[in-house]
Amino acid sequence: MSGGLLNRRQVLVTGAAVLAGARFARAHNGTVHVTIEKLAFQPAEIEVKAGEMIEWTNKDPFAHTATVKGGWEVVIPPGKVATHVASPDDTVDYYCRFHPNMKGRIKIAS
């Protein structure tokens, strides 16, 4: 039984190390997914190519926004999904207008 636990621990440690090494979210089928849960954007930093879609899924019971100061804003109702197509000049910091402590960053990959 201890051999099984050791193997399970090795798998868990390896998985955690892989996840910790991933700084930016990667696009899957041209869409980068951001989850909003417990007043936080997860992941907080994403990297996309111009033309790819960013999709926010709001799991909180209240509305949020993805707001770029002096730029665009996406409203994400509770329990819903909202999207934005990244443009070449979208390397930006963003926040939730309703909850300004919620912050994220979008980086456009070259």
Mean pLDDT, contiguous 10-residue spans, the chain (110 residues): 51 41 56 98 97 97 97 98 96 98 96
CB 48 within 8 A of CB 109: yes
Give the per-residue pLDDT at 9: 52
Q: Are 61 and 39 in contact (CB under 8 A)?
A: no
pLDDT at res. 17: 37
Give residue 98's pLDDT.
98
Model pTM score? 0.76
What pLDDT was estimated at residue 86?
97
Q: Are 37 and 78 in contact (CB under 8 A)?
A: no
Q: How far apart are CA 5 and CA 91, in angstroms?
A: 44
DSSP class of 50: T
Q: What is the pLDDT of residue 14?
A: 42
